[in-house]
Amino acid sequence: MIKFNNQSNYYQGKVRDVHSIGDQDLVMIASNRISAFDHILPREIPYKGNILNQIATEFLQQTAHIVPNWLNNSPLPNVSIGKRCEPIAIEMVIRGYLTGHAWRTYKSGLRTLCGVTLPEGMKEHDAFPVPIITPATKAEEGHDEDISREDILAQKIVSGETLNALEKYTRELFAHGTTEAKKRGLILVDTKYEFGFYNGELMLMDEIHTPDSSRYFYAEGYQERQDKAESQKQLSKEFVREWLIENNFQGLDGQKMPTMSDKVVERISDRYIELYEKIMGKSFEKKNVTEVEIETVVNNYFDN
């Protein structure tokens, strides 16, 4: 396992390894692990960590004028160095379309999600009149849980002032992501943002607008596919979830994780590379970063 000079803590998340350096700094390494339905799948996806980290770095830099963020530097394709924030225990999920979890909720007959009323007469992948915010609690283990604005305040997870700021930043970040996606012929369907405090200042944390945290449709042909009630062509992790569902796994008790063949792993990797090239507008450079390289580069960063 990688260990840096002056490392004070280590945490392995579902897809990232997080190293605390002293009291103020973090080193986040994006691994090739992949998770769905809050379970880590049995095989890693080549280059996935590089892709997630590079997309997140690009959008964190683009949106720093909207809200301060944790990122200081990304010295390697899969490594980011930044501020060690105190995380807020909710994810700010925003949805522009009735897709994924929102559609599964709607299809079950429910017309509210996180306290938000869903319009009648919608079909899968329809756009909401206005994007809706549907927060979720952040679970260290197991499933994240939907939570309403009212319950966030009732449970005093954050103050009303902070929640207002979170909602404002969430909408502004989503609007920016939507504009950038449109430039590349994509639709930003839904995404999530995580926030925390650094020395009392509210900051954007973690990754943004990556295929692990977001869902994209191809804009070309979207309306035609809707009119014909056809599936949308999308770039996201949803196709991984769909493959798991087809193989009788949704993370429920008693269900067995299906075997991932080389072909499945290659297909998932190709889809991640496709999204990178589409959203970034440039070719993806395949690079395998060694643990020795990570240790050397990060230790030199802090020594200097």
Which of 191, 220, 236 terminates a domain? The answer is 236
Quick check: 86 and 197 in contact, CB under 8 A? yes
Residue in 93, 54, 51, 60 with CA at minimum distance from that of residue 194: 93
Residues 224 and 269 in one domain: no
Q: Which helix (H) or strand (E) holds 65?
A: none
Look at residue 139 in the predicted model and tell me its pLDDT.
63
Is residue 223 a part of any domain in this protein? yes
Is residue 1 a part of any domain in this protein? no
Look at residue 142 in the predicted model and tell me its pLDDT.
52
Residues 136 and 183 in one domain: yes
Residues 91 and 147 in one domain: yes
Q: Average pLDDT, whole number, for the chain? A: 93
Residues 114 and 186 in one domain: yes
Residues 173 and 188 in one domain: yes
Tokens standing for residue 210 = 């990556």
Residues 43-62 have a mean pLDDT of 96
How far is residue 178's CA from residue 170's CA, in Å, rounded to a whole number? 12
Which residues, in sequence order, are CB contacts of 57 under 8 Å at separation 6+? 71, 74, 80
Task: Name the domain count of the chain.
Answer: 2
Q: How far apart are the first and last CA of the chain?
A: 23
pLDDT band with cut points at 50, 70 and 90 for residue 238: confident
Considering the chain, what percentage of its residues have pLDDT values greater than 90? 85
Is residue 69 a part of any domain in this protein? yes
Look at residue 236 in the predicted model and tell me its pLDDT.
73
pLDDT band with cut points at 50, 70 and 90 for residue 167: very high
Residues 80 and 94 in one domain: no
Phi, psi of 187, rounded to the nearest 5 degrees = -115, 125
Which of 218, 236, 254 terminates a domain? The answer is 236
Is residue 75 a part of any domain in this protein? yes
How far is residue 138's CA from residue 42's CA, in Å, rounded to a whole number? 23
Residues 181 and 217 in one domain: yes
140 has a pLDDT exceeding 90: no
Residues 110 and 76 in one domain: no
CA angle 7, 10, 13 (to 5 degrees): 150
Look at residue 276 in the predicted model and tell me its pLDDT.
92
Residues 96-107 have a mean pLDDT of 95
CATH of the domain at 167: 3.30.470.20
Residue-wise pLDDT for 252-292, tens only, equals: 989 999 999 999 999 999 988 988 999 999 999 999 999 99
pLDDT band with cut points at 50, 70 and 90 for residue 115: very high
Residues 119-124 have a mean pLDDT of 96
Residues 28 and 54 in one domain: yes
Is residue 252 a part of any domain in this protein? no
Residues 36-48 have a mean pLDDT of 92
Residue-wise pLDDT for 191-215, tens only, equals: 999 999 999 999 999 999 998 889 9
Where in the sequence is the domain holding 68, given as residue range(s)?
7-85+262-303
Residues 98 and 133 in one domain: yes
Look at residue 304 in the predicted model and tell me its pLDDT.
82
Residue in 198, 246, 220 with CA at minimum distance from that of residue 71: 198
Tokens standing for residue 73 = 């530097």
Tokens standing for residue 286 = 């395949």
